[in-house]
Amino acid sequence: MNKPTLVILAAGMASRYGGNKQIDGFGPNGETILEYSIYDAIEAGFGKVCFIIRPEHQEIFENNIAYKISPYAEVSYAYQTTDLSEYGFTDTIERAKPWGTGHALLSAKDKVSENFCVINADDFYSAKAFIAMHKFLTEEVEDNYFSLLGYTIGKTLSDSGPVTRGVCATTDEDDLKQLDERAKVFRDETGAIRYEQGDGSLGTLAEDEVVSMNFWGFTPAIFSLLEPMFVDFVSKNKQNPKSEFLIPEAAQDILKAGKANFKVIRVNAPCFGVTYQEDKALVKESLAQLTREGVYPDKLWTKAINQ
């Protein structure tokens, strides 16, 4: 079996952060967050890395990240743009940015032929996560059996502002039953975890609620499931410039239609990122602490990596 591929969603505009956080330095020697994900993935046994980016950003990724990892893994690029002619749309649809994470994933359909996982570029997931996902992709995955990583919500929140989290309802065997997006999730002054409901009132989430952090495991069969859904979505949302075709919502529709099942792989580890500029100091200290503990070498790419 071929080694699985790591697919990285890196075409976002980082509007809340206020900068290009995909290439911002957070490690002791200026390493980006996604370098830690790539490092952990290669250590776990992944063989390729595919960056989903905007075409104009390829040089930035090559000069800042790709050259460091190319000795250890094959690197490729997939481009997310607003041009939808390959899906049969010849008219111009005015948008400030492309169509969301589901569309981004489809952009990689001609670049990925192995089992693969998908992650955000701006989240730290931990080595445990990649070890667990590698095991799933090499031992358990099937064309109609995918996966997502499940984190304890209390280990995923930002102290700098509210976040969105996908709450997972599972069977006793940890198969996904339902994925509910909760908006504006935060910890209040009492320490309780709260979120904004549709009517504007606040709901409460348990500390150990299992949530998705957009870390998914797939076979290439996902592309044939997503494409007709995306075409239908665009047809219905041409006049809505802010509409987005998102992986969690598409996964929920696939699950409800009985076209595939999803295993929720529970990971007992923190997951943190940089939604806001104020998150940067905490993320830098967390990575520095992991380096002091010997989880990572002082200079990330100086240690020989398992291949």
pLDDT at 306 (0 to 100): 54
**pLDDT tens-place string over residues 118-140:** 999 989 999 999 999 999 999 99
* CA dihedral sign of residues 272, 273, 275, 280: positive
> For position 228, which CATH number holds?
3.90.550.10
Within-domain flag for 307: no
The answer to whether residue 67 is domain-embedded is yes
Considering the domain boundaries, does residue 88 fall inside one?
A: yes
Type of residue found at 83: D
Rounded Cα gap, residues 291 and 293, in angstroms: 5
Which residue range is the domain that position 121 belongs to? 5-302
> If you average pLDDT over residues 108-115, what whole number do you get?
96
**Mean pLDDT of the residues in the chain:** 90
Q: What is the pLDDT of residues 209-262, one digit of tens each?
A: 999 999 999 999 999 999 999 999 999 998 898 899 999 999 999 999 999 999
Out of 100-109, 197-206, 267-276, 285-294, pick the least confident: 267-276
pLDDT at 215 (0 to 100): 97
* Domains in the chain, number: 1
Task: Report whether 283 contacts 24 (CB < 8 A).
Answer: no
Q: Is residue 269 in some structural domain?
A: yes
Instruction: Report if residue 89 sits inside a domain.
Output: yes
Residues 271, 12 contacting (CB under 8 angstroms): no
Confidence of residue 161 (pLDDT cuts 50, 70, 90): confident
Q: What percent of the chain has pLDDT over 70?
A: 94
Confidence of residue 167 (pLDDT cuts 50, 70, 90): very high
Answer yes or no: is 282 within a domain: yes
Query: Which among 208, 270, 266 has a CA at the least distance from the CA of 36?
Result: 270
Determine what percent of the chain is predicted with pLDDT higher than 90: 67
| pLDDT given at position 16 | 38
Q: What gap in Å lies between CA 254 and CA 143, rounded to an integer?
A: 13
